[in-house]
């Protein structure tokens, strides 16, 4: 375990944020950072920008801004790089994504136009419903990985960055279970050289990142780094990894509501979740195999929160159904409906209906910012491998193989803040509070 109260090295120089995928989420994130730097908008939703942390006892009145409590890269020190299968620069991509209005985009146009996508590593075996021209060619997957490594090194030199992180913002790949090739770094590298069909493009990016000592966070539900080969590789190279799938719209709501229902020991018979969305992500998820990745990452949340084995009378008969429907007129403004069938005292049934008209990328962008900064912090303090303390940001948080993931958003937030307190040698907050009444 990382020692308590270590000296945290300051963030020096610039932090390069490498983004596979210049689509709705990443352009909303990059445009947002520039808009905030220019004073055009506020960084709503970002813990690393506006979050606070209480230190010591409630009577001490010590509440600091998180960014003043731990040294994080400053917004003006972020440099962006990215890859996409389309040639559009970030300005053009942001216009097409249609998340931010044109007026705002025009004010950060120059900065966005500077962000031009490098050629992607891509395969229609993994993302079926889109294709584009800006794709690398290589002898085999190992060669493609070497090309990505070269991109990363060139970016470092060109932008003169001190450190880098990679945050996956590209399309959801099809659902795959780990195979033999994913079991160790040796079998994985052999698989790269032999062009194994089991190695996904996202895994080639992750391999390239870790090879260059660049932390990797996975914002999509793909398997990617959730395999022994990548976990071992990250530990050996002392590189932080985290995933997977940003916790934004419906699952965010689920992890707010489910702990509340469970806390009051109300029963549950069914939870039906459906969505309409019309962005490119929705188009990709129209493919049943990509949808399966999403279904699995969204689906695990309830099982863990409700602890079926401990509360069979309440949760052993739950029907959980998730639907995502591609509906172009809605663009990025997703609409989600949840029907939740619960029961209370003596088994009397009740219903909860949630209709969340959200904006997917508006919810995701601050998560990308926080992840980039916190992954960089992890690396500076020497935290390697799986970063469970960042579970707060994910639908299907990675954790050590012998553990179950923690999905309750309030526990996740406490875990995140206590990790920061631990790093700075501050007392952990347990909410015991008996000492106030002694
Ligand atoms: N928006 C959210 O709230 C949210 C929440 C959770 C997860 N996600 C995930 O984040 C990812 C991005 O979402 P989005 O809405 O920005 O999607 P998007 O379709 O707008 O952007 C994804 C971009 O990735 C590109 N791409 C696909 N494969 C690539 C590859 N191999 N290399 C480089 N580029 C590639 C596509 O061309 C596209 O421009 C998706 O996987 C999505 O499931 C999004």
**Mutation probe of ligand 1 site: the residue of 281, 282, 359 with most atoms within 8 A of C-beta:** 281
164 CA → ligand 1 middle, Å: 20
Q: What is the C-alpha separation between 36 and 30, in angstroms, rounded?
A: 10
What does pLDDT average to over the chain?
Answer: 94
Strands 52-55 and 62-65: antiparallel
One domain, residues 373 and 225: yes
The answer as to whether 429 is a domain residue is no
DSSP E strand stretches across 56-201: 62-65, 78-84, 118-119, 161-168
Q: Give the count of beta carbons closer than 10 Å to the beta carbon of residue 260.
A: 11
Instruction: Assign 304 a pLDDT band (cuts: 50, 70, 90).
Output: confident
How far does the centroid of ligand 1 lie from the alpha carbon of residue 254, in Å? 22
Distance in Å from the first CA to the final CA of the chain: 33
What pTM value is reported for the model?
A: 0.95
Q: Which of 25, 94, 128, 245 to mutate to test the pocket of ligand 1 (most atoms within 8 A of CB)?
A: 25
Asked whether residue 5 is domain-assigned, the answer is no
Cα 322 to its chain centre, rounded Å, is 20
User: Ligand 1 atom closest to Cα of 25?
Assistant: 16
**The pLDDT value given to residue 230:** 98
Residue partners of 380: CB distance under 8 A and separation at least 6:
8, 9, 11, 71, 163
Q: Please report how many Cα atoms fall inside a 13 Å half-sphere around the Cα of residue 158, on the Cβ side.
A: 11
Establish if 435 belongs to a structural domain. no
CA of 360 to the centre of ligand 1 (A): 11
How many angstroms is it from 279 CA to the middle of ligand 1?
A: 10
The residues, ordered by sequence, that sit 6+ positions from 7 with a Cβ below 8 Å of its Cβ are none
Whether residue 318 sits in one domain with residue 269: yes
CA distance 300 to 415: 20
Separation of CA 341 and ligand 1 centre (Å): 33
Question: Whose C-alpha lies nearest to ligand 1, atom 40?
Answer: 171
210 and 235 in a single domain? The answer is yes
pLDDT digits (tens, 9 = 90+) for 146-200: 999 999 999 999 999 999 999 999 999 999 999 999 999 999 999 999 999 999 9
Nearest CA owner, ligand 1 atom 31: 122
pLDDT > 70: percent of the chain: 99
The closest-lying atom of ligand 1 relative to the alpha carbon of residue 130 is 37
Q: 339 has which bridge partners?
A: 272, 353
Regarding whether 242 and 253 lie in a shared domain, the answer is no
pLDDT tier, 297 (very low <50, low <70, confident <90, very high otherwise): low
Domain that holds residue 273: 249-357
Residue 266 is part of a domain; what is its CATH number?
3.30.360.10
pLDDT-derived band of residue 301, with 50, 70 and 90 as boundaries?
confident
Q: Do 407 and 255 touch, CB atoms closer than 8 A?
A: yes
Residue 171 and residue 79 in one domain? yes
Q: For residue 353, how far is its CA from the centre of ligand 1 (angstroms)?
A: 29
Cβ–Cβ under 8 Å, residues 247 and 409: yes
Distance of CA 169 from the midpoint of ligand 1 (Å): 5
Give the model confidence (pLDDT) of 395-413 as tens digits.
999 999 899 899 889 999 9
Condensed to tens digits (0 to 9), the pLDDT of residues 46-100 reads 999 999 999 999 999 999 999 999 999 999 999 999 999 999 999 999 999 999 9
* pLDDT of residue 320 exceeding 80: yes
Q: How many angstroms is it from 310 CA to the middle of ligand 1?
A: 37
Same domain for 350 and 367, yes or no, is no
Q: Is residue 205 part of a domain?
A: yes
In a domain, 38, yes or no: yes
**CATH code of 404's domain:** 3.40.50.720
CA of 282 to the centre of ligand 1 (A): 10
Q: What is the pLDDT of residue 382?
A: 94
Is residue 6 in some structural domain?
no
Would you place residue 223 in the very low, low, confident or very high pLDDT band (cuts 50, 70, 90)? very high
Tokens matching residue 98:
């249609």
DSSP 378: H
Q: What's the rounded Cα separation, in Å, for the pair 311 and 306?
A: 8
Query: How many angstroms separate the CA atoms of 148 and 154, rounded?
Result: 10
Q: Whose CA is nearest to atom 29 of ligand 1?
A: 170
Q: Among 340, 357, 374, which residue terminates a domain?
A: 357
pLDDT of residue 278: 85
For residue 108, which of 158, 36, 169 has the smallest C-alpha distance? 36
How many Å lie between the centroid of ligand 1 and the Cα of residue 339? 28
**What was the pLDDT predicted at 243?**
94
pLDDT attached to residue 1 = 76
Please check whether residue 438 lies inside any domain of the structure: no
Q: How many structural domains compose the chain?
A: 2
Same domain assignment for residues 202 and 57: yes
pLDDT score at 290: 79
Ligand 1 midpoint to CA 220 (Å): 7
Contact 218, 390 (CB under 8 A): no
pLDDT at site 3: 76
Same domain as 256, residue 240: no
Number of H helices and E strands in the chain, helices first, is: 16, 13
CA 173 to ligand 1: nearest atom: 41
The pLDDT, as a whole number, for residue 292 is 82
CA distances from 307 to 258, 302, 310, 313, 316 (A): 11, 8, 6, 11, 9
Pairing relationship of beta strands 267-277 and 78-84 according to DSSP bridges: unpaired
Q: Whose CA is nearest to atom 3 of ligand 1?
A: 360
**Local structure of 164: helix, strand or coil:** strand
- For ligand 1, residues with CB inside 6 Å are 20-25, 83-86, 97, 120-122, 127, 130, 132, 169-172, 201, 219-220, 245-246, 248-249, 279-281, 284, 360-361, 363-364
Average the pLDDT over 414-424 and give the result.
96
Average pLDDT over residues 369-383: 97
Quickly state the pLDDT bin for 269 (edges 50, 70, 90): very high
Asked if residue 258 and residue 127 are part of one domain, the reply reads no
Q: What is the pLDDT of residue 432?
A: 84
Average pLDDT over residues 339-356: 97
- Model pLDDT for residues 103-119, shown as the tens digit of each residue: 999 999 999 999 999 99
Please check whether residues 254 and 153 belong to one and the same domain. Answer: no
Closest Cα to residue 38, out of 76, 93, 78?
76
* Cα distance between residue 20 and residue 137, in whole Å: 17
102 shares a domain with 84: yes
Relative orientation angle of helices 201-211 and 228-237, to the nearest 10 degrees: 20
Domain boundary among 310, 333, 357: 357
Domain's final residue, options 326, 357, 388: 357
Atom of ligand 1 nearest to the CA of 283: 19
pLDDT band at 331 (very low <50, low <70, confident <90, very high): confident
User: CA–CA separation, 276 vs 292, rounded Å?
Assistant: 16
Residue 7 forms part of a structural domain = no
Tell whether 349 and 204 lie within a shared domain. Answer: no
**Are the C-beta atoms of residues 245 and 25 closer than 8 Å to each other?**
no
């Amino acid at each position: 375990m990382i020692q308590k109260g270590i000296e945290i090295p300051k963030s020096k120089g610039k932090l390069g944020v490498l983004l596979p995928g210049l689509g709705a989420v990443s352009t909303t994130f990059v445009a947002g950072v520039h808009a905030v730097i220019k004073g055009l908008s506020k960084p709503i939703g970002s813990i690393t920008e506006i979050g606070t942390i209480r230190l010591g006892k409630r009577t001490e009145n010590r509440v600091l801004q998180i960014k003043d409590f731990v040294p994080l890269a400053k917004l003006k020190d972020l440099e962006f790089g990215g890859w996409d299968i389309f040639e559009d620069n970030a300005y053009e991509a942001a216009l097409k994504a249609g998340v931010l209005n044109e007026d705002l985009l025009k004010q950060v146009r120059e900065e966005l136009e500077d962000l031009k996508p490098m050629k992607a590593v891509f395969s229609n075996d993994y993302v079926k419903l889109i294709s584009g021209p800006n794709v690398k060619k290589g002898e085999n997957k190992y060669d493609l990985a070497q090309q990505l490594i070269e991109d990363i090194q060139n970016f470092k030199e060109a932008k003169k960055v001190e450190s880098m992180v990679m945050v996956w913002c590209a399309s959801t790949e099809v659902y795959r279970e780990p195979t033999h090739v994913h079991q160790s770094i040796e079998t994985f590298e052999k698989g790269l050289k032999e062009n194994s069909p089991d190695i996904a493009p996202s895994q080639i990016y992750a391999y390239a990142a870790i090879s260059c000592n660049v932390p990797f966070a996975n914002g999509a539900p793909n398997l990617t780094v959730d395999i022994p080969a990548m976990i071992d590789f990250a530990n050996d190279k002392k590189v932080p990894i985290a995933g997977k799938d940003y916790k934004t719209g419906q699952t965010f709501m689920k992890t707010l509501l489910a702990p509340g229902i469970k806390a009051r020991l109300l029963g549950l018979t069914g939870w039906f979740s459906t969505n309409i969305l019309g962005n490119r992500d929705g188009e990709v998820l129209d493919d049943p195999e990509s949808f399966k990745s999403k279904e699995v990452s969204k689906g695990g949340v309830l099982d863990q929160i409700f602890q079926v084995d401990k509360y069979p009378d309440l949760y052993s008969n739950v029907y959980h159904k998730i639907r995502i429907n591609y509906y172009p007129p809605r663009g990025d403004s997703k609409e989600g409906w949840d029907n939740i069938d619960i029961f209370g005292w003596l088994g009397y049934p009740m219903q909860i209906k949630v209709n969340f008209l959200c904006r997917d990328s508006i919810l995701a962008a601050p998560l990308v910012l926080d992840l980039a900064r916190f992954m960089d912090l992890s690396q500076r303090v020497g935290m390697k491998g799986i970063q469970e303390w960042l579970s707060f940001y994910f639908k299907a948080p990675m954790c050590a193989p012998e553990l179950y993931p923690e999905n309750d958003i309030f526990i996740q937030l406490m875990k995140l803040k206590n990790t920061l307190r631990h790093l700075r040698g501050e007392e952990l907050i347990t909410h015991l509070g008996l000492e106030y009444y002694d």
